[in-house]
């Protein structure tokens, strides 16, 4: 990745940060070569702060880091696009983005994040936290049970029961994905790859 830092007089290039899950644009910062290298080394987005006159890792004070997923340079080699996972609000005002927008994506994205939070920060009375505590075998078993119940309801004519079982299956499937360290985006990419190969 070749970046033209000499394009601007201050030797900094703009870095646009985008949520890797929701695609929402989160903030704009600036980077010099050292900031790029530190971002890669830490796995946390680091800028050159023009006010502090030093490297600044986003979240170093608040704990709301931006976890690096990908970094690309544009066609003119003078602007970066960074895809990241935010660990909390991005703006210093407490907003999700620096444009005071909600960073929720669609509901399934939000549900995935709730499930992830229940795994990483267990709550005593949480059904999801309880499943994670019981382990992968129990989670997989629940997915199997819900799949069987959906098949049974598919044979009847009660649409409400069928949709409820479909929701139960999808919910436990998301838990299973998180338990294995994966998410719906990765599954979507597999399906997209098959489609591109005309295999669907």
Reported confidence tier of residue 113, pLDDT bands at 50, 70, 90: confident
Q: Is the confidence at residue 160, as pLDDT, over 80?
A: yes
Range with lowest mean pLDDT among 92-101, 109-118, 127-136: 109-118
Scanning the structure block, which residue is given the tokens 């991005």? Answer: 90
Quickly state the pLDDT bin for 20 (edges 50, 70, 90). Answer: confident
> What is the rounded distance in angstroms from the CA atom of residue 131 to the CA atom of residue 39?
35
Long-range contacts of range 33-37, CB-CB < 8 Å, 24 or more positions apart? 33/3, 33/5, 36/3, 36/71, 36/80
Residue 146 has pLDDT above 70, yes or no: yes
Residues whose CB falls within 8 Å of the CB of residue 20, separated by 6 or more in sequence, listed in order: 69, 70, 83, 84, 85, 185
> Does the pLDDT at position 200 exceed 60?
no
Parent domain of 117: 107-196
Question: What CATH code is carried by the domain that includes residue 145?
Answer: 1.10.287.1080
Q: Is residue 102 part of a domain?
A: no
pLDDT at residue 110 in the model:
82
> Residue 16's domain is classified under what CATH number?
3.10.20.810
**What are the tens digits of pLDDT across the range 4-15?**
999 998 999 999
9 shares a domain with 81: yes
Question: Nearest 5°: phi and psi at 116?
Answer: -60, -40
What is residue 21's predicted lDDT score, i.e. its pLDDT?
80
Average pLDDT for residues 137-159, to the nearest whole number?
A: 97
pLDDT at 104 over 90: no
Is residue 27 one of the residues assigned to a domain? Answer: yes
Q: Note whether 15 and 27 are within 8 A (CB).
A: no
Are 131 and 72 within one domain? no
Q: Which band of pLDDT confidence, cut at 50, 70 and 90, is reported for residue 106?
A: confident
Chain mean pLDDT for the chain: 94
C-alpha pair distances (Å), 175 with each of 67, 101, 111: 22, 28, 10
Domain membership flag for residue 80: yes
**pLDDT at residue number 81:** 98
| C-alpha span between 20 and 41 (Å, rounded) | 19
pLDDT surpassing 90 at residue 22: no
Work out how many domains the chain is built from and give that number. Answer: 2
Distance CA 35, CA 48 (A): 6
Find the mean pLDDT for residues 165-190: 95
Number of Cβ within 10 Å of residue 74's Cβ equals 13
Main-chain phi, psi angles of 33, to 5 degrees? -55, -40
| Residues 180 and 130 occupy one common structural domain | yes
């Amino acid at each position: 990745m070749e970046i033209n830092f000499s394009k601007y007089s201050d030797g900094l290039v703009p870095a646009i940060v985008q949520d890797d899950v929701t695609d929402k644009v989160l903030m704009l910062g600036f980077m010099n070569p050292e900031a790029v290298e530190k971002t890669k080394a830490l796995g946390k987005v680091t800028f050159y702060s023009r006010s502090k006159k030093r490297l600044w890792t986003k979240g170093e004070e608040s704990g709301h880091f931006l976890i690096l997923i990908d970094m690309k340079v544009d066609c003119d080699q003078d602007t970066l696009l960074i895809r990241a996972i935010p660990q909390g609000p991005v703006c210093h005002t407490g907003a999700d983005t620096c444009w005071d927008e909600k960073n929720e994506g669609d509901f399934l994205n939000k549900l995935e994040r709730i499930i992830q939070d229940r795994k990483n920060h267990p709550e005593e009375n949480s059904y999801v936290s309880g499943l994670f505590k019981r382990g992968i075998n129990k989670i997989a078993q629940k997915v199997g049970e819900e799949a069987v119940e959906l098949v049974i309801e598919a044979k009847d004519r009660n649409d409400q029961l069928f949709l409820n079982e479909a929701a139960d299956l999808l919910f436990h499937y998301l838990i299973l994905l998180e338990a294995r360290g994966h998410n719906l985006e990765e599954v979507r990419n597999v399906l997209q790859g098959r489609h591109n190969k005309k295999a669907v």
